[in-house]
Structure 1
């Protein structure tokens, strides 16, 4: 077998093993993601609403993922499990796009290294195994990066227009995509492309065309094409608890109540908090190690070269390449600053995942260039094969470790069965409430995630959520009366989100709370334990005398 054949075989073997390793290592996260509360439940309910001909968006979550979910939406746990599996499929498409498009833009070795860095990212595992929009979003973000790079490298308006279309598709998937368009505007100013007004108009037209379904719907439903709850309100919260106690906060109220010093401190604290919690997602240890190795190799090459400096500067570099290299220089800092600001409100791996492929490609390219510039010919010749074999070994080790974790900690690997088993006590609660009366039962709960609205539709229960604008016991009394509530389901989240309830209840732990004095509006009927020590109290209406 010659070296070229060996390199080809090991390359494809490595790529296949990386995908397998991703599934094995991410599967525990998939099995642990059995709770359909919060954003996941919201996406599921939107899928049901679209299927029934109702709303297309709730003003916070954009429409493309719910539209896909609506094609198989149901009120059974199979719906939830299938949605997670489909997102794993989107993640696989994303990895293959990184491999294929980076190979086309650079070379196979850089592509394989970049895909591996993403596939072995713990934040990637956690994000791709949930019913959220990021797995689908990442596909369009990767395509947008690629067309942006090709447009800059080849100075081609066609690629820029394709980039605009991809950002539009990303925007109807998640509002975060708007940030990428802002980055493009900054890049245009830096590179002088602002003079190319026809190209820019084409980008804008492509973006507006692909985003038009959401823009038209938002105009009809919310009165403005670019409405999004997060950018209008949540971005200006001090903490997510504001969504329950002061949901109408916006830019004007924020500026009226915060000084310049507060704003600076928020950026500083937010950046520290972001890197403290998501640092291993943004810049994993392996990325730091690779950059140190690359730096050492560059220094070694520089010291061995008599014609220093040996590397091109930005001034002498080809204009297309220079402009292309400015893409990560613009995108990564802007993305980090934006989510540093948002970190005190919401701080999850999914927020920074869209820049992980970009960072991975940049790091892989730096390492590759560092090796290729070494004054050692055999290293340059055999480096691709060395990378292939190394990734094969790493993938096999990852598969082995992932299998051992699954075998030791998860007696059941079937995600459909796990979701059903883990939520059995919730189903018992819903069906128990349903069977308490022969006619329709009205249950009041929330604002919390104890009763998933999408799953409650599998019963005849009428579930009403207490509005976050309810600020007093009198307001709650009116709400219970107006909705003719038969039962009130209360949990620790509800007590935290409705401060006036602390007159009667005290939260002792995350999911634990206790009644400190008699609740005046309804009588206690049951003290119920959901799985994993989630305590709820069920109150029934007091019969009229």
Structure 2
């Protein structure tokens, strides 16, 4: 498809070299900017990254194709690198960046095939500098792969529609559409618009042609593995959580339910909403989508742009664009007629995306991510129009010379300005991206995962415990999901009293509270005795009596606060020892002796209760007394890693303290006694200990005896 013949007087070889050089520069800058963004995008829990990383692991470890929301193609690529290591996260981001680079190359190739090389080059340039596309090519999410497959599907569909009897193109379109569907169910919108366009162009007789059936058959063959898996796992070959439930929510909070039977469906939505309310939701979303479409196509992401668009600039731009089209309609009409197939397919697709995500807007709030796959196609069509108008103006015999000269100067100045910006931003990103990506991700996330590591210590895939969390985008749950079972906090639980039945039903053992959860579950978190201290930090107050505070990380006030439900599994071994003049009671413990061996370790969880205020900051000691009456293991520290001293304990509060005691490599075989107690670090004096009212020797609790063979 050629709009206008190129007006550039360059030899064929020179053109190839120039275009190849420019395309290489575009790719190099995109790679540099992308590398810098990968360095900044260090939170693996941001967006859907947790879910995609987990699905890649599930696919590798258990053969799970989908979680009911995300389709398997992108996770299949992730599975090649899937390990519960931070390098896996970094490789995932690099994989997305690679798909972004391929999309830029494909944009040029499709543009050159459909229009001309200059159109393809301009489209590739616009895509390479688009900040939204760049950002979404540096997350462990499907958008860059989906953009590539949607572009290729669109191209194959155009070729098929232009050649209704060419079976090979219809088969290729079906295969590519199937791959796009395996990447994300959003691709079904393009497939629907392809069928609609074919119907508009060729009428009902299209269903009698073997080509449309060849398209359907090739699409079905590619999609069959997912359909079969969905049928077995979810009871429907085309099951998708977004279609069945998410579309009918009033907000994403509706997804945080106590059970799947509480999720909204089309039927429950129709029962609880009237037509006026539905129209109001759709109309509000359609108006708001103008803003997101404008942001999508703009090359940068700035607050100034947001202010300009929201202050009326967007409407001015839309009116100006419409006026330009009307004024140029006589010249544009032949172009529109020659390209009616591509415009019809693209127009119906964009329109359907616009309406659907206008409806979806209350649920996702920031729908730009879902519009990313449209950017290559939109930039190609915009480039085709711009190149075509420029060439037509230059070639038109009635265009005055001063207009041509002035236009050339303006284009040259614009090219220089864009070129300087292009180089400067590329260099600045290259200088900023000197750090080792793998080391940077590991270092950043060691901090983010400390609460999960603390909970997971002592638990294996054979005996996972259930952890209540969220809503939160701070915890990298994919890292330890093989040792911990995660359930989300229900939206309707506004207090601890409402949460308690859910924790009983789900057999919850731990709850992790952070700033994200505090903002979105404020009343519930307050009922747990937590309040915002400063920034993202939380202060611990009076918490429920049947929960024990186990961790305040990284200190107190804490960014992550971890509580243990005392009645949750595994059961706590009861004890009854009074310390510090009956001010503190040791009422239970848990032991993990699987690694009890010379050079190994013993893990003990001690459960304390504050009975009376304590004036002394006591240090807890744990000792392994061997058969030779020598210590072969010891760990002493203040409660909760020194972050919650005994002087802060309030009567009625309960605490869980975890000690991992290293065992002496030279420890002899025999029976070992685990001794526990408290002492004043300043004086070395131990707190008195009694059992059943009787004092214990050396003020040490002989908690239990372990055998080393």
TM range, smaller chain: 0.7 to 0.9
Aligned to 1:306: none
> How far, CA to CA, are the matches of 1:437 and 1:201 in structure 2?
54
> How far, CA to CA, are the matches of 1:299 and 1:11 in structure 2?
33
Aligned to 2:688: none
Q: Equivalences for 1:225-244 in 2 at 5 Å?
A: 225-244=237-256
* SS of residue in 2 equivalent to 1:524: strand
Q: Equivalences for 1:177-256 in 2 at 5 Å?
A: 177-197=187-207, 198=209, 199-245=211-257, 248-256=263-271
TM-score (structure 1 length as normaliser): 0.84
Q: Which range is displaced more, 281-290 or 395-404?
A: 281-290
Shift of 1:475: 1.8
TM-score (structure 2 length as normaliser): 0.66
Shift of 1:540: 3.4
Shift in CA distance, 298/229, structure 1 to aligned 2, threshold 3 Å: closer
* SS of residue in 1 equivalent to 2:178: helix
Q: Equivalences for 1:353-364 in 2 at 5 Å?
A: 353-364=372-383
Shift of 1:261: 1.7
Shift of 1:441: 7.7
Match of 1:275 among 281, 290, 301: 290
Q: Equivalences for 1:142-541 in 2 at 5 Å?
A: 142-155=151-164, 156-197=166-207, 198=209, 199-245=211-257, 248-282=263-297, 309=330, 312-313=333-334, 317=337, 321-346=339-364, 347-374=366-393, 375=396, 394=418, 397-405=421-429, 407=431, 410=432, 413-435=435-457, 442=465, 444-449=467-472, 450-456=474-480, 461-466=483-488, 468=490, 471=493, 472-479=498-505, 482=507, 485=509, 487-495=510-518, 496=520, 500-505=524-529, 508=532, 511-515=536-540, 517-529=542-554, 535-541=559-565
Shift of 1:238: 1.2
Shift in CA distance, 357/194, structure 1 to aligned 2, threshold 3 Å: farther
Shift of 1:196: 1.5
- State the structure with bigger RCO (CA 8 A, min sep 6), 1 or 2: 1
Q: Does 1:108 align with 2:126?
A: no
> How far, CA to CA, are the matches of 1:357 and 1:338 in structure 2?
20
Shift in CA distance, 328/505, structure 1 to aligned 2, threshold 3 Å: farther
Shift in CA distance, 474/45, structure 1 to aligned 2, threshold 3 Å: same
Shift of 1:73: 0.8
Shift of 1:40: 0.9
User: Is the CA contact (8 Å cut-off) linking 1:194 and 1:200 kept in structure 2?
Assistant: no
Q: Which range is displaced more, 465-474 or 362-371?
A: 465-474
* SS of residue in 2 equivalent to 1:180: helix
Once the two structures are superposed, residues 148-174 of structure 1 have per-residue CA deviations (whole angstroms, 9 ceiling, x without a partner) of: 121223333432332122111111111
Shift of 1:329: 1.9
Shift in CA distance, 147/510, structure 1 to aligned 2, threshold 3 Å: farther
> How far, CA to CA, are the matches of 2:535 and 2:238 in structure 1?
36
User: Is the CA contact (8 Å cut-off) linking 2:96 and 2:137 kept in structure 1?
Assistant: yes
Shift in CA distance, 264/464, structure 1 to aligned 2, threshold 3 Å: closer
User: Is the CA contact (8 Å cut-off) linking 2:32 and 2:433 kept in structure 1?
Assistant: no
Once the two structures are superposed, residues 434-456 of structure 1 have per-residue CA deviations (whole angstroms, 9 ceiling, x without a partner) of: 55799978462314444423211
Shift of 1:201: 1.8
Q: Does 1:10 align with 2:34?
A: no
> How far, CA to CA, are the matches of 2:555 and 2:250 in structure 1?
32
> How far, CA to CA, are the matches of 1:242 and 1:507 in structure 2?
25
User: Is the CA contact (8 Å cut-off) linking 2:253 and 2:491 kept in structure 1?
Assistant: no
Bigger-Rg structure (1/2): 2
* SS of residue in 1 equivalent to 2:111: helix
Shift in CA distance, 10/388, structure 1 to aligned 2, threshold 3 Å: farther
> How far, CA to CA, are the matches of 1:310 and 1:466 in structure 2?
58
Aligned to 1:36: 44
> How far, CA to CA, are the matches of 1:124 and 1:431 in structure 2?
34
Q: Which range is displaced more, 25-34 or 143-152?
A: 25-34
User: Is the CA contact (8 Å cut-off) linking 2:142 and 2:184 kept in structure 1?
Assistant: yes
Shift of 1:501: 4.7
Name stretches of at least 5 consecutive residues in structure 1 with no aligned partner.
303-308
Shift in CA distance, 380/55, structure 1 to aligned 2, threshold 3 Å: farther
Of Structure 1 and Structure 2, which has the larger fraction of its residues in strand?
2
Shift in CA distance, 411/98, structure 1 to aligned 2, threshold 3 Å: closer
> How far, CA to CA, are the matches of 2:14 and 2:317 in structure 1?
27
> How far, CA to CA, are the matches of 1:540 and 1:63 in structure 2?
36
* SS of residue in 2 equivalent to 1:523: strand
Q: Does 1:64 align with 2:82?
A: no
Once the two structures are superposed, residues 169-200 of structure 1 have per-residue CA deviations (whole angstroms, 9 ceiling, x without a partner) of: 11111111111112123223322343122232
Cα RMSD (Å): 3.9
Q: Does 1:135 align with 2:144?
A: yes
* SS of residue in 2 equivalent to 1:489: strand
Shift of 1:127: 0.7
Name stretches of at least 5 consecutive residues in structure 2 with no aligned partner.
1-8, 306-313, 567-571, 575-586, 588-709
User: Is the CA contact (8 Å cut-off) linking 1:445 and 1:466 kept in structure 2?
Assistant: yes
User: Is the CA contact (8 Å cut-off) linking 2:469 and 2:488 kept in structure 1?
Assistant: yes
User: Is the CA contact (8 Å cut-off) linking 1:81 and 1:416 kept in structure 2?
Assistant: yes
Q: Which range is displaced more, 214-223 or 341-350?
A: 341-350
Aligned to 2:607: none
> How far, CA to CA, are the matches of 2:463 and 2:257 in structure 1?
32
> How far, CA to CA, are the matches of 2:428 and 2:531 in structure 1?
38
